[in-house]
Structure 1
């Protein structure tokens, strides 16, 4: 017997959302597969909120900070990253979620989902052309930074616990690592 799984397209996924099929379950679409999102625990919610507020102050009106909102990627994926730092396109986002060309960088906060965020999600973001991806490892208060895309893969990985880092899109901005990791 052969087992065949159904692969969702973004269009069908949006139709199912509009029909209310997933109203009771937080999910995201990764490479055509529906992934149930685990409940967010208190540390994850706290650090995510604090980092988003910090980045809003730091970057001001140069960006829009989207917390746990979907982004639409060409590889049949519509994840909802913890923080997406995107172009401030206003009402354009009434028509569609941010596309890769609208995204400056993405941040995920990870404890239980660390292997998925460092594996499948990192691959999906790189394939989609997201130029910079940060993972806050809540198990050890580290910031892992992935950048420098080449052939759909990140070629540079930095692991930081303190100091500052400038996002590729904003070399004039210095982000305090401790303000992102909560390691103050």
Structure 2
């Protein structure tokens, strides 16, 4: 019997590759209205739908504590939106854990906010993406004050001063990045007269 002939695999340029479907914010919201995401927690980054795992008790408690504290700090004339859509552009709806923007709730009865005065994400399993991909989207949207509450390591990251990245990258990042311990106090840029103890935000 002659030896078997092995056919080499196709060249990299012709090898089959999985295709990633890109979605717009409009399509993403329409899918949600049809019930595609019932019981799930998706968000959209650069046209790709990401799914977060079920919200565990520390994450849920932190979102509640943040909402209580931030409402006291900002008061009337500000809208505090927990885990609601935000339309950064046609390809991005990061759905932040907490968004603060000047105005009234009815200002967003037709369109979602496109920027914010303060955004806070709670990180238990999402710290890396919150400090990278999401930070880049928020900076590009002109969000001047972005906080990430790390409930695992009990720290608060505060990112400020968004600035364009080097030419050609087409993105923006935060130049001022600080990390705070539970015993530290932090003031939002939009409410500098008030401050909050980091430990009061942690579950």
Give the TM-score taking structure 1 as reference length. Answer: 0.90
Instruction: State the distance in 1 between where 2:108 and 2:52 align.
Output: 23
**Greater helix content:** 1
1:89 CA drift (Å): 2.8
Instruction: Please say if residues 69 and 196 of structure 2, whose CA atoms lie closer than 8 Å, have aligned partners that are also in contact.
Output: no
- TM-score under structure 2 length normalisation: 0.82
Report matched runs for 1:108-147 at 5 Å: 108-147=121-160
Residue 52 of structure 1 and its aligned partner are, at CA, apart by 1.0
CA distance in 2, matches of 1:121, 1:43: 21
CA distance in 1, matches of 2:77, 2:187: 15
Matched residue, 2:120: 107
Q: What is the Cα deviation at residue 99 of structure 1?
A: 1.2
- Do the aligned residues in 1 keep the contact of 2:73 with 2:191 (CA within 8 Å)? no
Deviates more, 1:56-65 or 1:128-137: 56-65
Q: Which has the larger radius of gyration?
A: 2
Match status 1:172 vs 2:187: no
Aligned residues of 2:145 and 2:159 also touching (Cα < 8 A): yes
Unmatched 5+ stretches in structure 2: 1-15, 165-171
Report the CA distance between 1:14 and its aligned residue.
2.2
Whether 2:177 is the aligned partner of 1:157: answer: yes
Contact 2:24 2:90 in 1 (8 A): no
**Residues 154, 48 of structure 1: alpha-carbon distance in 2 compared, 3 angstrom cutoff:** same
Between the two proteins, the alignment pairs up a number of residues equal to 180
Conservation of the 8 A alpha-carbon contact between 1:75 and 1:128: no
